[in-house]
């Protein structure tokens, strides 16, 4: 379940988007969840200790967000910024194969360490860990904070 801070920030963003006749609300369908589970299996993560519950909880109503330079990757195969496409590109670099990437903005990547299930904000140019978090929601809340005017 989304925490109050994230809900408030998403509502603020939605209010801004409504002024321009747009919305960040996008539901996830059953096929999207199946595709995500299949991707996790193919990549070898289905039997790991990785927990995607908070990410999945968010995707129920916000399956991919593009706001003010922040992208939260969706689990829809047809989306331009899907978790599948973005991770395949980023994993071409050996150092980045130790993370699963959930999103990015102009200066940061938002990811989880495959080894220790710690969430990180990485500096985009260098890949250096800038901040670490114990949960996806804590990391995502910080990402939202950075893009709300």
Summarised one tens digit per residue, pLDDT across range 3-39 is 999 999 999 999 999 999 999 999 999 999 999 999 9
| Beta-carbon count within 10 A of 13 CB | 21
Q: Is residue 69's pLDDT more than 80?
A: yes
Nearest to 78 by CA among 13, 43, 29: 29
- pLDDT at position 103: 97
The most confident of 50-59, 90-99, 131-140, by mean pLDDT: 131-140
- Express as a percent the part of the chain with pLDDT over 90: 88
CA angle 37, 59, 33 (to 5 degrees): 25
- pLDDT at position 57: 94
CB 100 within 8 A of CB 117: no
Q: Is residue 47's pLDDT more than 80?
A: no
- pLDDT at position 49: 83
The reported pTM is: 0.94
Average pLDDT of the chain, as a whole number = 94
From residue 41, give the alpha-carbon distance in Å to each of 24, 57, 89, 129.
Answer: 29, 20, 19, 27
- What tens digit of pLDDT does each residue of 83-118 get? 999 999 999 988 999 999 999 999 999 999 999 999
């Amino acid at each position: 379940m989304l925490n109050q801070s994230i809900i408030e920030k998403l509502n603020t963003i939605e209010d801004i988007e409504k002024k321009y006749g747009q919305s960040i609300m996008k539901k996830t369908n059953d096929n999207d969840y199946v595709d995500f589970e299949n991707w996790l299996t193919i990549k070898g993560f289905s039997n790991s200790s990785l927990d995607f519950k908070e990410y999945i909880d968010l995707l129920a109503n916000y399956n991919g967000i593009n706001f003010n330079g922040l992208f939260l990757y969706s689990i829809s195969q047809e989306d331009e910024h899907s978790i599948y496409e973005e991770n395949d590109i980023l994993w071409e670099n050996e150092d980045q194969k130790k993370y699963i990437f959930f999103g990015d903005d102009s200066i940061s990547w938002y990811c989880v360490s495959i080894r220790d299930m710690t969430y990180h904000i990485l500096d985009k140019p260098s890949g250096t860990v800038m901040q670490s978090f114990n949960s996806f929601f804590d990391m995502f809340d910080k990402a939202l904070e950075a893009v709300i005017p």
